[in-house]
Structure 1
């Protein structure tokens, strides 16, 4: 049966990049469909039409149907990927700052999906991911809504560790749970090396010991202060060099801010993490991914939005369990869930929609 994937916000940099990643991955084949969904504005529609032709010129040999539609109300995919919304800017400096601006956009998308594709699986890419998941889960089956932020953070953590060990990221498994933002929780207990090299395992132990010498919160605060000063003087190269010398868990919490400052987005990294979630859904090979979802006790007894390990397929997500978590890591994850919950209440209150918070 043909598969139809809709990208809401396909005229933006992340949405357009994701479309390319999907077509290049060969996840879709003949008679499958990729729907590019716009914002109902002439400029957006014109860009979508041009993007469609460009993608057809590049990938038409795969015989995937590529469709451009101008309005969110036209969405009709089996899988809906939400990329629409405001992004980081000088006025909106971090993911949490985007909440008030993107809440009405999320509400509009959720309403359209509930009306047009209530059984679709939705993957939230737009930030704040947690807010998008909260809004869509209020109008759709929560088990069919997930955010990709925790997968992107987990990939960053694995890459940072692999870089310090001098190996490929394919040889490292690692998990980052909690928020796709300031309350993220890198979990050293989940780090696995695929190689059995004693020297690598010894080096990993040294990394863990180095990271445990000073609490993560203190290391991140000191690193953020140094990076902020460098960004004010537009010293991007030195900012990246400073983070390179930091521990992997602190690095992943600060390095994206440098990239965001320089280019206001991370289109390829975001598209790659989203593609991994999408691939897990379509192949149904029982791989573990990570994502923000609305929990009702499925992981550590948590209730509310939090990034957790997941197994996913076309029917939705199920929380996976981690047997390696330390007591301290469990405390940190619960603290992250509380922080996310408090943030969501604040955004709904600031926009006068607190009564609508599910």
Structure 2
């Protein structure tokens, strides 16, 4: 198997490469392309030397690639570009992030479309993930492109629920849909707790939600984001983390990574873990339902934009949307987020 990691010298890209080896998904019979800028060539060579030193017997073939035209792989992880700064006193807007990364998305998507073999699958890690998916889907075809943001948010949601209930994450089936960032939509109606009947699940869900209903989730997330931002700007990270810990599980999903990022620790390990988990399914030859950002054309709820939804994923791409139960408020919120994301994408691409 040939896997390319674009942005391999970045923190997340580096963790993706090492986790692929540590988890046995890339071994001596496989090949990983480490893709970066020419200015990063020395660092890429050092990275190859370090990985071979650490994993000599288990390491895959490692190639350095300095041009998008030379990418040759079945699976491509895109983890390059500008990231949000960790200085809370000099924040970067999502509009500025989109403006910075759009040319990079376009250049790589065009190169892969022109010089690739026509069957590559692209897993978008860089933000805004919806914009990256939109650009690559336009050039390569929408069923060959995924964004991992919704899967990472879903893993976080399941972990928060499992941790609060004292369960393993594998016993929790739940989805965090919508936009990666401020447009999260927790699908509480789809919650399943394996080993619990419907009434037990209803009672536990009520306890987990702590009175916050779907109709007021977006408003609560925005208000708590402002609260946590104020604490971070006062350099009171300890209080920010303590406050986040007092909130319902669905709010913690959006706010804990926010606090982690501005603590300076970032979220690279968790991001790489979610990315490699998705790659595991794509490499397995089997299909599985996973939340992912994909370019929709009305398949579900008449949404016609890039959005995080449950899809059937396999080694040939995503095959179809896998609808999950939504109540009226979840339905309305997901559609509203879809309209908002569609407006943003048109605005960002028009400004290019």
TM-score of the two chains, using structure 2 as the length reference: 0.93
**Alignment gaps of 5+ in structure 2:** none
Question: 1:70 is matched with which residue: 53, 66, 70?
Answer: 66
Is 1:162–1:169's contact at 8 Å kept on the other side of the alignment?
A: yes
Cα gap change, 1:95 to 1:20, in 2 (>3 Å): farther
1:171 is matched with: 171
Cα distance in 1 for residues equivalent to 2:251 and 2:59: 44
Q: Which moved more, 1:305-314 or 1:60-69?
A: 60-69
Q: How does 1:204-223 map to 2 (within 5 A)?
A: 204-208=205-209, 210-212=211-213, 215-223=216-224
What's the C-alpha RMSD, in Å, of the aligned pairs? 2.0
**Alignment gaps of 5+ in structure 1:** 352-358
How much has 1:213 moved relative to structure 2? 8.6
Cα distance in 2 for residues equivalent to 1:139 and 1:264: 35
1:182 is matched with: 182
**Alignment partner of 1:37 is 2:35:** yes
Cα gap change, 1:277 to 1:213, in 2 (>3 Å): closer
**Alignment partner of 1:339 is 2:340:** yes
Q: Which moved more, 1:4-13 or 1:268-277?
A: 268-277
Cα distance in 1 for residues equivalent to 2:47 and 2:59: 16
CA shift digits 1:148-206 (9 cap, x unpaired): 01000101111111222122222212111111111121111122212338877633332
CA shift digits 1:304-346 (9 cap, x unpaired): 1111111112211023323422222111111111111111122
1:101 is matched with: 100
Cα distance in 2 for residues equivalent to 1:158 and 1:307: 16
CA shift digits 1:223-243 (9 cap, x unpaired): 122212210121111101101
Q: Number of residue pairs matched?
A: 347
2:2 is matched with: 4
2:76 is matched with: 80
Is 1:95–1:181's contact at 8 Å kept on the other side of the alignment?
A: no
Cα distance in 2 for residues equivalent to 1:257 and 1:299: 29
**Secondary structure of residue in 1 paired with 2:77:** strand
How much has 1:22 moved relative to structure 2? 0.9
**Secondary structure of residue in 2 paired with 1:104:** helix
**Alignment partner of 1:13 is 2:11:** yes
CA shift digits 1:234-261 (9 cap, x unpaired): 1111101101100111121222221221
1:158 is matched with: 158
CA shift digits 1:87-138 (9 cap, x unpaired): 0114553545410000001011111111222321111000000000111111
Cα distance in 1 for residues equivalent to 2:48 and 2:121: 23
1:355 is matched with: none
Is 2:7–2:81's contact at 8 Å kept on the other side of the alignment?
A: yes
Question: 2:25 is matched with which residue: 17, 24, 27?
Answer: 27
**Alignment partner of 1:139 is 2:128:** no
CA shift digits 1:51-93 (9 cap, x unpaired): 1111112222225211122233321111111001000114553
Q: Which moved more, 1:333-342 or 1:68-77?
A: 68-77
**Alignment partner of 1:276 is 2:277:** yes
Cα gap change, 1:96 to 1:165, in 2 (>3 Å): farther
* 4+ residue segments displaced more than 4 Å: 197-201
Cα gap change, 1:122 to 1:323, in 2 (>3 Å): closer
Is 2:312–2:322's contact at 8 Å kept on the other side of the alignment?
A: no
